Amino acid sequence: MIKPDHITTTTCPYCGVGCTLELHVKDDFIFKVTSPFDSPVNHGNLCVKGRFGYDFVYHPKRVLTPMVRRYLLESVQSSVISEQWRSRKDAPDLGYQSLITNYQSQTPWDWIETDWNTALDITANKLIEIYQRDGSDAMAVYCCAKATNEDNYLLQKLYRALFRTNNVDHCTRLCHAGSVVALQQAVGSSAMSNTASQVTMNDVFIVTGSNTTENHPIISLQMKEAVEKHGAKMIVIDPRRIELVDFAEMWLPLKPGTNVPLFTAMAYVIVEENLVNHDFIDDRTEGYPEFLASLEKFTPEYAEQICGVPAEDIRKAARLYAKAKNAAIYWGMGISQLSHGTASAMALIHLAFLTGHIGRDGTGLNPLRGQNNVQGASDMGAMPFHYPGYMRVDDEANAAQWEKTWNIEPGGLSRRLGLTTTEILSHAYEGGIRALYIMGENPMMSEPNLNETRKHMEQLEFLVAQDIFINESAAFADVFLPATPFAEKDGTFSNTDRRVQRVRAAQPPRGQSRPDWQILCDLAQRIEARLGRPTARWDYTHPEQILREMAGVNPDYAGITYERIDKVGLIYPVPDLTHPGTPTLFTQSFPRGRGKFTPLDYVPVREQADDEYPFILTTGRLLEHWHGGTMTRNSALNEAYPEARVEIHPADAEIHGIRNGDPVKVQSRRGEVVLRATVTEKTSVGVVFIPWHFHEAAANLLTNDALDPQAKIPEFKACAVQVFPARENELSNPDVMLSRGRY
């Protein structure tokens, strides 16, 4: 048995559950991952990603040296080129050498390895050149839901303080923006109101738009425990027959995109049968009379016609939820990733208001956040409308407070709302966004309608990628800055429970790679000096100093120090240094005062099935993979699930002459992919499902870029497609990237 040199306790880099990991290290190599039984999040349990999905750290394609395009290096100094070229001749084959072509004979767009000073000087100079020529509106940045709180705080600070823009966003826009907007409007706070482990306190709970078993595996274990050990009743509302259905009291298989009529019909039943908590409505809410008036048409029979769920099942589900002593709602992106994602989430919020199932342990409104630190990145202000702590950028007092903290002249920060992720790319044209900085995100996999996204990426004048691999988006970059993954840096992640936990380096950075926060400090110091724009601080020597600066203004984090979160973290709000944390929110009131009812109407998804495109495509994740696949497809997990598959119902497969494993072409109005079919009753008749992790059959080539008007989240969960049998030789080559980049 191998004896480790040391065991480092840290936090999982994949999903928002935030499981505690113990990395067993020998000779700077992680050879095993375990988890402590006393972890309050996962009690020693880990899913396959947390247990086995860390070997991407050692993948030969990981980039370990800064790289710039040859044309940029030539414009700086030719001596640097020759020196770098000489030094690289003796370099070991790191796997990405094929990307770096012979300087003597190739094009201006070849990647050339260089040193950090050269790469950061080029980056700073080019960003400043564009900023001074075209102004703040030409600058934009994608922060990163996989990076730490400290990394995200610094990157939004850099763009706000130095380039005076709020064009700052990250992938929260693409997952739970609808939930965030609805919760902000209704209660004034967008995080989960209770912790996931409180599911065992529920008598009844609704799981909707969430394949929890694959997306939040440890939470699904807790849900099953609630049913099997504690006698809770689970209601699954989902178009697919997900694994949780096996444990559910009821399954309501609605048609994709018909959430609003179904949930509002449940509200209708609660009112009609006087299951309403009148005290809660009187004491804690506003807008009830107007909401009541809007319910008139949402009878269960009306909803049945739209969503396909029998009216009697809608009645039964409404009674179950409303009559429970403690009931909660857990939802995922099947609610928010729609062009009416905000209304979808609002319809769920109404159920909690009507029954008073909120503000107590074992109740609540719980959007299950996707990425490991999407909650934290949002908390850190990695969004176009908010500073850290969800302080609106267009509020004078908020702006003044951050100007003081960042040593900026009064009025220096922009008061204008910035562009969202999808808007940033669609504004990539002459006179619009010219320079984009991407830290760890992968829009060439995660945006909808990727053929359009590609055109936008091609329009950028300058793109910086700060990442660990040359992924589908970094292929478009002009500069590549090699960052360290989670196992080589310190900081904090905030999980879906609002629990702020430590991330700890288990080994030194490999090659020349550096932690994101250090890269950003060095870059900011260069930009600040050349712009003559002094700011509060860029000379941090440890990430805790960064967290404490942010916590000095953000009251939710005020009582969080690295010492206090050393063992098990703290659940914010933590308003002072002695506060124990707040697992249950809204016990007395909502942040906005009264909870607000908002009358809703039914708006169909933008694309309905028709004769030409008779199927509805819905997309999602798999247990074995994560997002655009930058980490999992470069790990052993790829062997467990190596290729994209489209799920199709047996009745549809028979009509189209498709057998299990056959190659099929799936085509929408925007693109097409060829992949193998899985014939399964997991999906409904007329609905097909494709996971979006596979660049060789990227589901987002098909999806619709229609946006929710308020949250600006795209409609990933429903678009019309056609399915045809295809030939073996039409299957895409998995070694071919979706995009080879601009050059």
Q: Which residues bind ligand SF4 (CB under 6 A)?
A: 12, 14-15, 17-19, 42, 46-47, 49-50, 217-218
Report the distance separating Cα 26 and Cα 31, nearest Å: 7
Strand ranges, E, within 319-440: 327-331, 364-367, 386-387, 391-392, 435-439
CB closer to ligand SF4, 20 vs 339 = 20
Residue 711 CB partners (closer than 8 Å, separation 6+): 173, 177, 178, 180, 181, 182, 336, 341, 342
User: Which tokens in the block code for residue 50?
Assistant: 């947390």
The distance of closest approach from Cβ of residue 14 to ligand SF4 in the complex, given in angstroms and rounded to an integer, is 3
CB burial string 117-150: b at 16+ within 10 A, e below: ebbbbbbbbbbbebbeebebbbbbbbbbbbbbbb
Angle (CA) 172-176-177 rounded to 5° is 75
CB closer to ligand SF4, 220 vs 426 = 220
The distance of closest approach from Cβ of residue 195 to ligand SF4 in the complex, given in angstroms and rounded to an integer, is 14
The distance of closest approach from Cβ of residue 565 to ligand SF4 in the complex, given in angstroms and rounded to an integer, is 17
CB closer to ligand SF4, 487 vs 605 = 487
The distance of closest approach from Cβ of residue 1 to ligand SF4 in the complex, given in angstroms and rounded to an integer, is 23
How many whole angstroms from its chain centre is CA 478?
A: 25
Instruction: Report the length, in residues, of the chain.
Output: 743
Report the distance separating Cα 355 and Cα 279, nearest Å: 10
Cα radius of gyration rounded to whole Å, the chain: 25
| 249: nearest Cα among 269, 279, 228, 268 | 228
| 273: nearest Cα among 324, 306, 316, 329 | 316
| 280: nearest Cα among 590, 584, 573 | 590
The distance of closest approach from Cβ of residue 221 to ligand SF4 in the complex, given in angstroms and rounded to an integer, is 9
The distance of closest approach from Cβ of residue 12 to ligand SF4 in the complex, given in angstroms and rounded to an integer, is 3
The distance of closest approach from Cβ of residue 60 to ligand SF4 in the complex, given in angstroms and rounded to an integer, is 24
Q: What is the largest CA-CA distance in the chain?
A: 81
Residue 13 CB partners (closer than 8 Å, separation 6+): 54, 146, 372, 485, 486, 631
CB closer to ligand SF4, 497 vs 522 = 497
The distance of closest approach from Cβ of residue 304 to ligand SF4 in the complex, given in angstroms and rounded to an integer, is 36
CB closer to ligand SF4, 46 vs 433 = 46
User: Which tokens in the block code for residue 681?
Assistant: 């009753």
Q: Count Cβ atoms below 10 Å from residue 2 Cβ, excluding itself.
A: 10
**Nearest-CB residue to ligand SF4?**
50
Distances (CA, A) of 548 to 149, 500, 563: 11, 13, 12
The distance of closest approach from Cβ of residue 149 to ligand SF4 in the complex, given in angstroms and rounded to an integer, is 16
The distance of closest approach from Cβ of residue 178 to ligand SF4 in the complex, given in angstroms and rounded to an integer, is 22
The distance of closest approach from Cβ of residue 418 to ligand SF4 in the complex, given in angstroms and rounded to an integer, is 30
Report the distance separating Cα 444 and Cα 477, nearest Å: 12
Distances (CA, A) of 114 to 384, 408, 690: 33, 34, 40
Report the distance separating Cα 653 and Cα 650, nearest Å: 5
CB closer to ligand SF4, 13 vs 671 = 13
CB closer to ligand SF4, 49 vs 434 = 49
CB closer to ligand SF4, 222 vs 277 = 222
User: Which tokens in the block code for residue 439?
Assistant: 């830290």
CB closer to ligand SF4, 10 vs 619 = 10
| 186: nearest Cα among 317, 344, 294, 328 | 344
The distance of closest approach from Cβ of residue 248 to ligand SF4 in the complex, given in angstroms and rounded to an integer, is 20
Distances (CA, A) of 632 to 217, 495, 628: 16, 20, 9
* Sign for the pseudo-dihedral over CA of 46, 51, 57, 60: negative
CB closer to ligand SF4, 18 vs 389 = 18
CB closer to ligand SF4, 10 vs 355 = 10
CB closer to ligand SF4, 10 vs 703 = 10
How many whole angstroms from its chain centre is CA 674?
A: 26
CB closer to ligand SF4, 72 vs 145 = 145
| 335: nearest Cα among 465, 471, 180 | 180
Residue pair 442/475 in contact (Cβ under 8 Å)? The answer is no
- Give the amino acid at 587: T
The distance of closest approach from Cβ of residue 547 to ligand SF4 in the complex, given in angstroms and rounded to an integer, is 21
**DSSP state, 667?**
E
CB closer to ligand SF4, 526 vs 627 = 627
User: Which tokens in the block code for residue 689?
Assistant: 């499902």
CB closer to ligand SF4, 214 vs 379 = 214
HSE of 436, CA atoms in CB hemisphere, 13 A: 34
The distance of closest approach from Cβ of residue 627 to ligand SF4 in the complex, given in angstroms and rounded to an integer, is 11
The distance of closest approach from Cβ of residue 382 to ligand SF4 in the complex, given in angstroms and rounded to an integer, is 20
